[in-house]
Structure formats: structure tokens, C-alpha cells
Amino acid sequence: MLVILLVTRGTAVQALSPAVIDVLAAGSDVVEATGSAKALWQLSNSRPFDVVVLQCGLGERRQNHAGCVDLIRSIFRRWPWMPVVLVGAATERLWADVLLTGVRAFLTRGFTIGNLTRLVARVARRHGTPVPSTGSVATMRRVFALLDEHAGETPSLRDLARMSQMSRSHFSRTFHSVAGMPLRGYVRELRLKRAHELLVSGKFSLTAVAMESASTTCRTSTRRSAGASGPRRAPSGRGTPTRRGDAR
């Protein structure tokens, strides 16, 4: 049975009606929290959760999502492996603000109860899965900082594994368990976030941002190809990813 933390913002318009909450609780253990402080307290002091369902945006003036985004980022800083399902009014700015966080899915107005329950089941951690060790989290946080610093030319998997004193396979597994997504998914979101920041700064045209993004991808691909040895392996064919960059 999944353990769900359900966070509401206490706004006048509620995306999650009592009926919806009852359906979630029928197959899962649901703990409710109103507001950021109570949500963080629950995550710090309560039982281990498998997923956070967070209401955001509905009923807030001018679509002010600052408090919601701050909570999401706080969760990622402290529990980066925790998946978050965001429920509410979707805006382009909100999408950009929650890149590189634990948000794995977004449900907007008009969603069905079936949509919500299926999505929660799909993105939640498997119940009972141990959380990453303190050492693994600390190492991956250093990797996050390095990737952010070198967003223009991402270090290779080989280099990151060597820096972390791990084999490439061990590094990949550890990165995924801590970040909640594989390295390639994280890098993709890092580039999207950078492109959005360039756009909203008003200093660059859409064409310039697109060319910069393409140039970054090309430099990284070329460097990896130059460092590769032997024939390239065919894809494993294990299936189609079910969420952002997640190829379980």
C-alpha cells in the first residue's frame, strides 16, 4: 500500500475534492497537510512517503505560484528522490520553474479521478524501497553542482563516475536513485531551464536561444563520439519511457 502525502494550499478553490481524496485513500495510506510548513514537517517527522501530491495554482491571484515552487524546491533539496505529482493550473512559467525538481507529472483542470490514481501509481516509489544513503546523496549533490556549473558542455558519464569514485554502472544507478531520473533526463531538463532563463531575460531572441541550445548539444555529442571506442551497442529495447527521461 502506497503512503501518499497530500498537500493543499488552503486556497478558496480546491482542486482535490473530498470525493477524490476518498478514492485515493481507498487504496493507499493518505496523510493530509495544509501549507508548506506542515508538509515539510510531515516529510521530516512522519513515516516514509512514496509520493507527494501537491495542489498548486487554483484560486491564487495572478497565478502566483511562488509559495508552491518554493515548497517543491525545498523538497528536492532535502529529499531529491521524492516524486511529486502537481495538480492545478498549468502555466509556462510554472512548468519552467519546476524543472530540475521532483515533479514527475502535472495534472491540470478537468482531470478525472482515474487519471490521478493511475498517475500516482505510476510515478510513486515502490513502497518499502530504501531511501538513498547520506553519502550517496552528498556525492550526487556535488554532481548536480558540477552539471549546473558546466551546463554549456556537460561532463561525460565516464568523467562523472571517475570523479565520484564509482564504476559507470554504479554511478548511473546511484544518480537515478537520488535524482529520481537518469543522467540524460537531468541534463535535458538543465538545458531546457537554461534556455528558458535566456528567453525570459529578454537579452536574446528565440533564434539565438535555439542556436545556443543546438550548439551545446552538438558540442557534447561530438566530444562523446570522439572519446568512444569500439562499435556502438544497439539499444536494449526494454520499453518506452513512461515519464520525463525515466527509462525503467
Q: What is the pLDDT of residue 248?
A: 39
pLDDT tier, 243 (very low <50, low <70, confident <90, very high otherwise): very low
> At residue 173, what are phi and psi to the nearest 5 degrees?
-65, -40
Please compute the mean of the pLDDT values over residues 164-170 and round it to a whole number: 96
- Predicted pLDDT of residue 234: 38
| Cα–Cα distance for residue pair 206/216, rounded to 1 Å | 15
Average pLDDT value for the chain:
78
Query: Taking 50 as the threshold, does the pLDDT of residue 223 lie above it?
Result: no
- The closest alpha carbon to 6, from 180, 178, 124, 157, belongs to 124
Query: Does residue 232 surpass a pLDDT of 70?
Result: no
Query: What pLDDT, on a 0 to 100 scale, did the predictor assign at position 14?
Result: 59
Q: Between 222 and 189, where is the model more confident?
A: 189
Per-residue pLDDT at 43 exceeds 60: yes
How sure is the predictor about 208, in pLDDT bands with cuts at 50, 70 and 90? low
What pLDDT, on a 0 to 100 scale, did the predictor assign at position 97?
85
- What is the tens place of the pLDDT at every residue in 120-143? 999 999 888 889 999 999 999 999
pLDDT at residue 218 tops 50: no
pLDDT of residue 5: 94
Whether 15 shows a pLDDT value over 80: the answer reads no
pTM of the model: 0.75
pLDDT, position 92: 76
Query: Tens digits of per-residue pLDDT, 50-105?
Result: 999 998 865 555 455 788 899 999 999 999 999 999 987 667 778 888 888 899 98
